[in-house]
Each structure stands twice: as C-alpha cells, then as structure tokens.
Structure 1
C-alpha cells in the first residue's frame, strides 16, 4: 500500500495540470479508488482532493511570480477564467494572484509528499476477520458532519434525543453479529474529509429476513468479510487511535483493503460515565 500511495503522489505530479484519473491508476496498481482515497486521507491528514489542489496552487504560484499572463496560467491548470483561478489561489495562499505578483507573497507551499512505513513503535492490534452473510442495520439515522478527534456533539445530541426505553427496544431487536447497540457510519466521503456529511445510525444488526418495525431506518448490508479491531481504554480516544492505527499499521502489512460499506462500532463494556470502554471496530474489507 505504501508503494501504491507513493506512485499516486508521483502520478499527481506528472498530471497536475490535467484531470487526475485516480480510479484508473488504482486499477493499474491492483487496488481500488475507495481504498486509495481512504488510506491517503488517514495517513496524510488531508483528503487527496485537497492535496491535489494545494500542489496545483503551489506550482501555479511559481508561474504567477514568473510574470506570465494570468488567463494563460489559469487555463493551463484547468480553470476556465481568471476569477475561478483566483478563488482557488486565494483559498490556498490567503492572497490573490495579483497581490502575490505585486508583493511577492504570502505563499503557503505544499511540499510533495513521501510515504514511508516505519517499524518502531507500531501498535499491537487485537484483530480478527469475520465472514458475515447479508444482514440489516436498523435504528435511528441522522446526517451529521464528520469529526476526526474527540466526541461528535451532533451524534451525542442525536442519541440523547432518544428516550431511554428506545435503547432497550433496539437491544431486544438485535439478533446477529455485531451484537448490542451499534454506532454505524455510512455514506462516508471516500476522502474522509473532516466536516463532510455522513449517515450516522444508532441501532442494531438483524438477520436479512427479520421483521423490522416501520418507524426504524434500515441500511442493507451485503455479505462479505469484516476486519474487527478490539480496543480498551479512554473513550473515545482509544477508539480513535485504533482507527488511525488501521491505516498506519494494519492495512499496509496485511493482504486486505477497505471496500465500500458502513463501518460499525460495538460497545462491549463501558464505565457508567462512558469515560472508558471496550469496543469493537468493524470495517468492511476484501482481499487485496
């Protein structure tokens, strides 16, 4: 995976002024666009689309300072007008092309990335692969923004709005793995961009032929393999650290890749105040 990401970075450099065919390159590298985008975002700390934009504007800044015609520079980098180019330029550098040309800055340079796999300090991960038939996720869903670190107040508010008896009703409905009440994230942006919207479902897993009450939301999950990561400790810090370690440690050294589908968190045990918990993170995977 590390080699694939470095080839992707090289490909971006070679085609900065063109439309980047990530799906085509991923296919040539024997992986998928979905997996490449998720791994890039997790390891680089930014979406692939944002990295491409920053690199384009970094290279474009050199041409702006070189004194070429702004419309010609804009067209070379895929923009149909100097206005559109100027907006993209300002979003990265904090100043328009004309200001930078006049004042020599400010410029915010995005260096070309290089991915490396290190072996010291890697995280020991309690992991298993579970093959599951098709099943349903049922519960109460809401659209919420993605937040990478700390509690998500939008999810907290969604859960808090449910009456206590509803949690018990959901628990009674669950009849298959993953067991218990689940935190489900679906329709996630492949770039995993912070602030992008996803569907969050507070619910349970049931067999595909189960009778589902009409007042509940349903996510259909096809059959497939799941990587299940168990973690214990401070909540949600330990769970979020496990998320990060899947990209940094586990996927680069195992013959699996992410496939499209919901991710699920099962809370197995927790403190009364939820300050600590034992959880299982379920990620949909397929053989690489």
Structure 2
C-alpha cells in the first residue's frame, strides 16, 4: 500500500449525515445508496461548490459511535469548508491529528471497500501505529469515480 503520514490542525467539513448499522455489513450496502441519493438530488454538486479547504474533493466521513451505541456509525458526505453554515447542511469539526493517508486507485465502490479491508487486515498488524480516536475520511477527488484509474484516499487518525 502506498501511504504517507501527515499532521493537520483541526478543520471542519460541511455536509449531510445518516446513521447506519454495522451489523451484517449493512453499512457497506447502504452507504453506496446514500452516494446515489446525493448525486441525484444535487447535494454533491453543492458540496463541490462549497469546497474551499485543503482537501480537494468530496469526503465521506466515518464516525464510529459504538462506544455510545453498539454497532452504529454516522456517515457524512461532506466537503472541507470554512465559512457560515449553509442552509440545509450540518458542520462537523475534525480534530487535529496525525493521519495515515492511503492512496487508492480504481473504480468505486469496490476499490474503496477493498482498501479498508487491506488497511485493517494487513497494514495495521504490520505497522507500529494504532488507530487513534476520531473520524476516518474517504477523499473522493474530482473525476469519474467508476473509472478503473480513479484516484481517491483514505485518511485514518493514528497514534
């Protein structure tokens, strides 16, 4: 896996969120449907317009809620944004962190889902890093996400 370690101060994203169950892979089936919805209703285009931060593109943000609610997560479709809260969208603060940024090449959603599995089954067991508390990011760069050479990233907070 190609990755780099970076550090960032806190930043914010703006977007929409939904809660998903992690039981029996429900999140893996339902999150792609959420993406279909935001492409169909124009939310994705709005997020592209609002994107004014360092991360270029639209982000999926995974917020693990299992410490408070077993087997649940919030998933955001958002963009890095600095400014007043736009009507109909929510703001999420992303804390300062050391991040593992993993490169992904390939069509969605399979390439993204396969990379997640590889990071947790291969990279973490062989690295000296541990997962830090905090949200995880999927960064979707501009371009055709169904293209075999599409570029995206996974950002995981590390300690």
Structure ranking higher in helix proportion: 1
Partner Cα separation in structure 2 for residue 248 and residue 161 of structure 1: 31
- Residue in structure 1 matching 2:42, options 154, 161, 165: 165
Aligned to 1:247: 120
Change (3 A) 1:171 1:151: same
Instruction: Determine whether 1:228 maps to 2:96.
Output: no
- Residue in structure 2 matching 1:183, options 44, 60, 78: 60
- Residue in structure 2 matching 1:201, options 76, 82, 86: 76
- Deviation for aligned residue 1:148: 7.5
CA RMSD of aligned residues (A): 2.7
Unpaired runs of 5+ residues, structure 1, are 1-124
- Deviation for aligned residue 1:154: 2.4
- Residue in structure 2 matching 1:144, options 2, 6, 20: 20
Partner Cα separation in structure 1 for residue 80 and residue 24 of structure 2: 25
TM-score by length of 2: 0.80
Range with greater deviation from structure 2 (245-254 or 146-155): 146-155
Greater than 4 Å deviation, 4+ residue runs: 147-151
Larger RCO, structures 1/2 (Cα 8 Å, 6+ apart): 2
Structure ranking higher in strand proportion: 2
Instruction: Determine whether 1:132 maps to 2:41.
Output: no
Give the count of matched residue pairs. 155
Contact residue 150 and residue 237 of structure 1 kept, 8 A: no
Aligned to 2:154: 281
Unpaired runs of 5+ residues, structure 2, are none
Q: Give CA-to-partner distance per residue, 1:27-71, whole Å, 9 cap, x none.
A: xxxxxxxxxxxxxxxxxxxxxxxxxxxxxxxxxxxxxxxxxxxxx
- Deviation for aligned residue 1:258: 0.8
Change (3 A) 1:169 1:271: closer
Contact residue 263 and residue 281 of structure 1 kept, 8 A: yes
Contact residue 150 and residue 236 of structure 1 kept, 8 A: no
- Deviation for aligned residue 1:270: 5.1
User: What SS does structure 2 have at the residue aligned with 1:219?
Assistant: strand
- Residue in structure 1 matching 2:30, options 131, 134, 154: 154
Partner Cα separation in structure 2 for residue 147 and residue 234 of structure 1: 25
Partner Cα separation in structure 1 for residue 144 and residue 27 of structure 2: 16
Partner Cα separation in structure 1 for residue 26 and residue 142 of structure 2: 19
Contact residue 145 and residue 154 of structure 1 kept, 8 A: no
